[in-house]
Amino acid sequence: MKTVTLTLNPALDKSTAVDRITPEQKLRCSSLQLDAGGGGINVSKGIRKLGGASTAVFPAGGHNGRRLQELLTNAGISTSTFELAGETRENFSVTESATNLQYRFTLPGVEMRTEEAEHCLQLIRELQPDLLVASGSLPPGLPVTYYEQVAAFAKQIGARFVLDTSGPALQAAADEGLYLLKPNLAELSALAGVDKLEMNQVDDAALDIIHQGKCELVVVSLGPQGALLVTRDGFEHIPAPTVRKKSTVGAGDSMVAGMIWALAQGKSPREMAQIGVACGTAATMNPGTELFDPEDVWRLKTWIDTYGERYRITDFD
């Protein structure tokens, strides 16, 4: 399957570490690490780490935009971009070594008009993907319903659309209909129209979303507890191994990357969710803005296959 990722609000991610963060002091940091960032871009990076291929579609502006393209090209990732006036945003994260606490600073993106965003859809149409993955926030200037337009566009070109975003943008797109949704508990609650879901309500809420035609598959992210896979035929808890956490940056994108890679390989929904959980968990083992080590992924996947049954949550009824 040909896979394309869409990132409407890309970023140049910068990360470093310092012993302690103290106000009004000059802080001596470790060497700066640069990474291409943004939800869809991270998904493409994760797919590449697993040995798969995808094309990352995104707007690029100024020096940061060119640097983004260079980083992805050097990583062996295909890109398709159009130039946007202004400078692609930066994100900055600092890890306090003494406590392992991470401080993340996210800058606003370049304002984009709907007509400009249509350039991305034109690029996607030319690529003719089987799987289209949109991940991340919308940039300033685009309406919260824009992902809904992307969902309709995906239907027009015959692509399975997978969306990983939050808030009103997620709800609007779900109304149009998607192939796969990966909400957390708060996002699933919003989609279900309630303030909060108890654990024994999660499977029914996800199944209702499927029956309403909002998607075909739901993988509910449960954080350290793994994920809940829900299809029309039922549900299954996929437990996550316990690991030493160094960072949560990129864990969600890594989970999506694992699931998309698995879909492109023709894996079953169950194995898709297992690989997604393994990738998301593996990402938390790395510092800064790194994603995951493939060796960690397959080791964790083996744990899920071998010991997962013992740690599976069963009290959903």
DSSP-assigned letters across all residues of 34-52: EEEESHHHHHHHHHHHTT-
Instruction: Supply the pTM of this predicted model.
Output: 0.92
pLDDT the model gives residue 239? 94
Mean pLDDT across 139-151: 94
> What sections of the chain are H helices per DSSP?
39-49, 62-74, 114-127, 146-157, 167-176, 185-192, 202-211, 251-264, 269-283, 294-307
pLDDT the model gives residue 161? 97
User: Are 230 and 273 in contact, with CB atoms under 8 Å apart?
Assistant: no
Q: What is the per-residue burial (b if ≥16 Cβ within 10 Å, else e) of 202-230?
A: bbebbbebbeeebbebbbbbbeebbbbbb
SS3 state at 63: helix
Tens-digit pLDDT profile for residues 93-133: 898 989 988 898 999 888 999 888 999 999 999 999 999 99
Q: Does position 181 have pLDDT exceeding 90, yes or no?
A: yes
Q: How many CA within 13 A on the CB side of residue 137?
A: 13
| Domain layout of the chain by residue ranges | 3-17+32-311
Rg (CA), the chain: 19
3-17+32-311 falls under which CATH superfamily? Answer: Ribokinase (3.40.1190.20)
Say how far apart CA 151 and CA 181 lie, in whole Å.
12
Q: DSSP character for 139?
A: P
Is 317 annotated as catalytic?
no
More confidently predicted of 217 and 289 = 217
Q: Supply the mean pLDDT for the chain.
A: 92
Q: Does position 198 have pLDDT exceeding 60, yes or no?
A: yes
pLDDT the model gives residue 250? 80
SS3 state at 26: coil
Would you place residue 288 in the very low, low, confident or very high pLDDT band (cuts 50, 70, 90)?
low
Say how far apart CA 162 and CA 269 lie, in whole Å.
14
Q: What is the 3-state secondary structure (H, E, C) of 88-137?
A: CEEEEEEEECCCCEEEEEECCCCCCCHHHHHHHHHHHHHHCCCEEEEECC
Say how far apart CA 172 and CA 176 lie, in whole Å.
7
Instruction: Considering the candidates 253, 305, 315, 317, report the single residue annotated as catalytic.
Output: 253
Percent of the chain topping pLDDT 90: 72
